[in-house]
């Protein structure tokens, strides 16, 4: 019971940040969530919450979507997801291994994105091969862990420098890609019994988190919350490596 209560608190806090940044909610929530309710419960629930959170952001920011980047990102990441979903099924039951892989990726992504975000050097375009590789790998990671956002941010922080375009375009991507994963989960009968009830309660918590996050987004700097995001990502990644 305590684990589920703490899980709901994690959902509330992480989705406040998701609402502000457009990408960090699931990658922050996943490490703590797998320790509290297990990977098999955390993954589908957090995927649904990420989908709904992105719909919420788009409701107000649809006009800011960069359509060209949206189509490019979605297509290439969808190819990666087509690899990640069967890979996730293949790795089913290897919880300890998945925790270690996820912990390493979260720490790596946090350090990498913090470097790119705070670097004072002029941002340069990436070689096309690097761009496509980042997006493809982001899709694979998203298919397995539903938290491919940090890799995508490495790409998007170069291509989408406007704050509103960044937030709205990434949210549009998550609506499509999380929707694909949700349909696969529905097809597989994942949402039944306890997972269904946990999802229902989590959605109610999500609504409050998005209301709070949207209010904060209008009043506080994105940089301040990215500071917090990167610190929490490192802490959560270390906690998984030590699990």
Q: What is the pLDDT of residues 6-52, one digit of tens each?
A: 999 999 998 888 777 776 778 788 878 888 898 889 989 999 998 99
Nearest 10 degrees: CA dihedral of 16, 17, 20, 22? -120
**Total number of domains in the chain:** 1
Percent pLDDT > 70 in the chain is 88
Q: Using the predicted structure, report yes or no on whether residue 188 has a pLDDT greater than 80.
A: yes
pLDDT for res 78: 94
Q: Using the predicted structure, report yes or no on whether residue 190 has a pLDDT greater than 70.
A: yes
- Is residue 185 within 8 Å of residue 165, measured between CB atoms? no
**Residue 30, Cβ neighbours under 10 Å: how many?**
23
pLDDT for res 94: 67
Q: Percentages helix, strand, coil for the chain, rounded to the nearest 5?
A: 85, 0, 15
Q: Using the predicted structure, report yes or no on whether residue 121 has a pLDDT greater than 60.
A: no
Look over the chain and give the mean of its residue pLDDT values, rounded to a whole number: 83
Buried-exposed string 86-106: b where 16+ CB fall within 10 A, e elsewhere: eebeeeeeeeeebbebbbebb
Distance (Å, rounded) from C-alpha 236 to C-alpha 33? Answer: 10
If you average pLDDT over residues 93-117, what whole number do you get? 74
pLDDT for res 148: 78
- Is residue 77 within 8 Å of residue 201, measured between CB atoms? no
Domain containing 211 equals: 2-241
Percent pLDDT > 90 in the chain is 30
**Could you read off the pLDDT of 209-235 as tens digits, one per residue?**
989 988 887 776 767 766 776 777 777
Enumerate residues 6+ apart whose C-beta is below 8 A from 59: none
Distance (Å, rounded) from C-alpha 8 to C-alpha 10? Answer: 5
Which phi and psi angles does 90 have, rounded to 5°? -65, -35
What does the angle CA 225 – CA 230 – CA 234 come to, to the nearest 5 degrees?
A: 145
CA nearest neighbour of 61 among 134, 209, 164 = 164
What does the angle CA 98 – CA 27 – CA 137 come to, to the nearest 5 degrees?
A: 70
Distance (Å, rounded) from C-alpha 18 to C-alpha 228? Answer: 12
**Residue 239, Cβ neighbours under 10 Å: how many?**
15
Enumerate residues 6+ apart whose C-beta is below 8 A from 190: 44
């Amino acid at each position: 019971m305590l684990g589920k209560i703490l899980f709901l608190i994690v959902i509330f806090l992480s989705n406040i940040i998701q609402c502000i940044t457009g990408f960090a909610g699931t990658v922050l929530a996943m490490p703590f969530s797998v320790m509290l309710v297990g990977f098999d419960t955390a993954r589908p629930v957090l995927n649904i919450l990420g989908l709904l959170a992105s719909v919420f952001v788009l409701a107000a920011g649809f006009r800011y979507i960069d359509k060209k980047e949206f189509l490019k990102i979605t297509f290439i990441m969808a190819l990666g997801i087509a690899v990640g979903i069967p890979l996730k099924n293949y790795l089913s039951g290897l919880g300890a291994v998945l925790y270690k892989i996820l912990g390493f990726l979260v720490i790596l992504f946090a350090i990498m994105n913090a470097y790119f975000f705070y670097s004072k050097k002029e941002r340069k375009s990436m070689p096309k091969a690097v761009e496509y590789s980042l997006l493809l790998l982001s899709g694979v990671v998203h298919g397995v862990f539903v938290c491919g956002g940090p890799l995508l941010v490495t790409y998007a922080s170069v291509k989408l420098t406007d704050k509103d375009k960044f937030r709205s375009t990434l949210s549009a991507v998550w609506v499509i890609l999380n929707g694909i994963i949700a349909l696969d989960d529905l097809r597989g009968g994942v949402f039944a019994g306890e997972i269904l009830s946990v999802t229902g309660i989590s959605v109610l918590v999500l609504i409050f988190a998005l209301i709070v996050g949207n209010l904060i987004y209008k009043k506080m700097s994105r940089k301040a919350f990215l500071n917090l995001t990167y610190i929490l990502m490192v802490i959560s990644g270390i906690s998984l490596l030590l699990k």
